[in-house]
Amino acid sequence: MARKKKEECKSVPAWLTSFSDLMSLLLTFFILLYSMSTLDITKAMKFLSYFQGEKAKTFKQISIVKPIKIYTEDVARKIKKLIKRLLPVYGYQLVVTEQYVMIRLFNKILFEKDTVKLTPQAKKALEKIAQVIKSLNGNYRVRVEGHTSKGEPTKPIKGVNDSWDLSILRATQVAKYLISKGVDPKKVFVVGYDATRPLYTWNNPILQARNRRVEIYLEVAVPKEEEEEKVLIKKKEKLPTKGGEERKASSEKR
Residue 4, domain member (yes or no): no
User: Is residue 184 domain-shared with residue 86, that is, in the same domain?
Assistant: yes
Q: Which of 21-30, 42-51, 111-120 has the highest average model confidence (pLDDT)? A: 111-120
In a domain? residue 15: no
Q: Find the domain containing 102 and state its range.
A: 71-226
Indicate the range of 67-76, 116-125, 204-213, 238-247 predicted with least confidence.
238-247
* Confidence category of residue 249, pLDDT binned at 50, 70, 90: very low
Q: Is there a single domain that holds both residue 28 and residue 110? A: no
Same-domain status, 30 and 85:
no
Same domain as 121, residue 148: yes
Asked, for residue 81, whether it belongs to a domain, the answer is yes
* 252: pLDDT strictly greater than 90: no
In a shared domain, residues 152 and 203: yes
What pLDDT score was predicted for residue 70? 65
pLDDT of 248 reads: 42
**Within-domain flag for 122:** yes
Same domain assignment for residues 138 and 37: no
Structural domains counted in the chain: 2
pLDDT the model gives residue 10: 64
Is residue 254 in some structural domain? no
Q: Residue 87 region, left (φ>0) first, then alpha (ψ -120 to 50), else beta?
A: beta
With a pLDDT cut of 70, the percent of the chain lying above it is 65
Residue 175 lies inside a defined structural domain of this protein? yes
Average pLDDT over residues 119-128: 95
- Of the two residues 119 and 31, the one the predictor is more confident about is 119
**Residue 88 preceded by cis peptide, ω within 30:** no
- If asked whether residues 95 and 195 sit together in one domain, one would say yes
* Cβ contacts of 90 within 8 Å, gap of 6 or more: 106
Amino acid at 46: K
In a domain, 240, yes or no: no
- pLDDT tens digits for 52-70? 555 545 545 444 443 444 6
Q: Is residue 2 part of a domain?
A: no
User: 84: domain CATH number?
Assistant: 3.30.1330.60
In terms of domains, do 36 and 130 share one? no
Regarding whether 135 and 37 lie in a shared domain, the answer is no
Q: What is the mean pLDDT of the chain?
A: 77
The letter for the amino acid at 223 is P
Domain match, 40 and 153 both: no
CB atoms under 10 Å from CB of 97, counted, come to 13
Helix (H) / strand (E) element for 35: namely: helix 14-37
Q: Is the pLDDT of residue 16 over 70?
A: yes
How many CA atoms does the CB half-sphere of 32 hold within 13 Å?
6
The pLDDT of residue 247 is 40
Instruction: Compute how many other C-beta atoms are within 10 angstroms of the C-beta atom of residue 107.
Output: 22
Query: pLDDT tens digit string along 127-185?
Result: 999 999 998 876 889 999 999 998 888 788 887 888 899 999 999 999 999 999 999 99
Same domain? For 41 and 81 the reply is no
0.85 exceeded by the pTM? no
Based on the fold, state whether residues 103 and 172 are members of the same structural domain: yes
